[in-house]
Amino acid sequence: MVMKPFAQFISLAEAQSAVQQVLPVPEREWVAPEQAYGRRLAESLAARTAHPSATESALDGIAARLEDTRMASEQSPVTLRGVGESRAGEAYSGEVGPGECVRIYTGAPLPSGADAICPVERLEFGAEGEVRLLAPARREDVRPLGDDFVAGDELLPAGVRLTPARVALAVAGGHAALPVRRRWRVVLLSTGDEVRAPGTPLNPGEVYDSNRYGLRGLLHECGAEVLDLGHAPDSVNDLAARLDAAGGADLLLTSGGVSMGRYDFMRDLLMERGEVTFWKVRLKPGGPTLLGRWNGLSVLGLPGNPVSSLVVFELLVRPALTGEELRTVRLRAAAPFAAAGDKVAFWRGELRGGEVAPYPKQSSGVLRSLSDARVLVRVDPGQQVQAGDELDVLLLD
């Protein structure tokens, strides 16, 4: 069988672009606000009303005319006559005249004629509605109509992740339903004869299926709908049957079976009976990553080493699913970081007082390093990082 040509040893940027391109254009669906948390907006949202919808008080106290209160102090209080109250949901309907005030509560509409608020802590209430002011009223404690936004203002751009604060903002803007992107449907499959389910006895050389649980958690963080196919042994026929069961998804994510070994059957299956877009990325860790297709379904094969699998997810899969750039900051190196030949390296790092140092163990099999380090330090080909140099650091937490 003649295999179709495919790209090899591509750059990280090329791999990121290729993974992003295999995902379909996200469909739009409308959901209630309580179902929108963590979803991505499919289109920008504009306000349908002003917020606040009236000029209102920012605190409890009295509403009055500023000119009537300018001379108020503890030594020489000013006395006003209370003529009513304004509360949220029931505004004072009259007008505040000279020498008058209205008791007002936080969020209540400011009565006509009043232009300032004196807080309750600076008031003394007397008989027959008299109110003594121990300080001048303040215009700064009045919230103008539309101080937050007015109808027509853009509230949220398309593509933004809907946090609780953003959902609250959308509801405040008058939206009872939100347009969101349909969740990506991602099928997850781990491979390898040496892989065992958690809690079962291990023979020497066997490992628990940690990749599947780590990747599943990362997919949930990205808001994906996960179909877990479990674990498949190193069998071409078994792998083919599992891949056939993954139809209807947007992406099939596998771990293991894509490196250079004799028993890397996921690689062989896609090369011989499927399609391969690229194999091997100039990246450390994670070099053997493979992107292909099986019966029209895009397949991203991640390396079996646990660190490699999770790091490649952060670099290739998360940006594609979320539409967000990598979360990087500039930090100063506390110690040297080596380059990795013609590969871009992402070393696990430890934060030390605003600087970053290499984690002691950088093996792709040391899963504890990702739990402890929390950051990845990028070193480009040929870049020699010395203590004191600034570099890009990818945040994992």
Architecture of domain 328-395: Beta Barrel (2.40)
pLDDT tens for each residue of 314-367: 999 999 999 888 889 999 999 999 999 999 999 999 998 889 999 999 999 999
User: Start-end ranges of CATH 2.40.340.10 in the chain?
Assistant: 328-395
Tally of CB atoms within 10 A around 348: 25
Residue 76 confidence (pLDDT): 97
Supply the pLDDT for residue 260.
86
102-131: average pLDDT: 96
pLDDT, average across residues 14-18: 97
pLDDT at 26: 86
> What confidence score (pLDDT) does residue 263 get?
79
State the pTM of this model. Answer: 0.84
Task: Please compute the mean of the pLDDT values over residues 61-77 and round it to a whole number.
Answer: 97
Identify the CATH class of 7-26+183-322.
alpha beta
Give the whole-number percent of the chain exceeding pLDDT 90. Answer: 88
397 burial class (0-12, 13-18, 19+ CB within 10 angstroms)?
exposed
Token duo for residue 214: 């780590």
User: What CATH number was assigned to the domain covering residues 28-51+148-181?
Assistant: 3.90.105.10
CATH 2.170.190.11 residue window(s) in the chain: 56-143
For residue 247, what are the contacts with CB-CB under 8 A and spacing of at least 6? Answer: 295, 297
Q: At 112, phi and psi to the nearest 5?
A: -60, 140
Residues 327-340: pLDDT tens digits? 899 999 999 999 99
End-to-end CA distance of the chain: 46
Question: What are the tens digits of pLDDT across the range 294-303?
Answer: 999 999 999 9
Say if residues 57 and 108 touch (Cβ distance below 8 Å): yes
Name the residue among 267, 394, 277 with its Cα closest to residue 331.
Answer: 394
The pLDDT assigned to 90 comes to: 94
Q: What is the pLDDT of residues 182-206, one digit of tens each?
A: 999 999 999 999 999 999 999 999 9
- Position 2 scores a pLDDT of 53
- Which whole number is the average pLDDT over 272-285? 96
User: What Å distances lie between residue 327 and 153, 168, 281, 319, CA to CA?
Assistant: 28, 25, 21, 10
Range with the lowest mean pLDDT among 91-95, 100-104, 141-145, 230-234? 230-234
Residue range(s) occupied by CATH 3.90.105.10 in the chain: 28-51+148-181
Q: What's the confidence (pLDDT) of residue 301?
A: 96
State the average pLDDT for the chain.
Answer: 94
CA distance 188 to 251: 9
Question: What pLDDT score does 3 carry?
Answer: 65
| Higher-pLDDT residue of 26, 125 | 125
CATH number of 56-143: 2.170.190.11
Residues of the chain with CATH 3.40.980.10: 7-26+183-322
Using DSSP bridges, classify how beta strands 251-255 and 185-191 pair: parallel, antiparallel or unpaired.
parallel
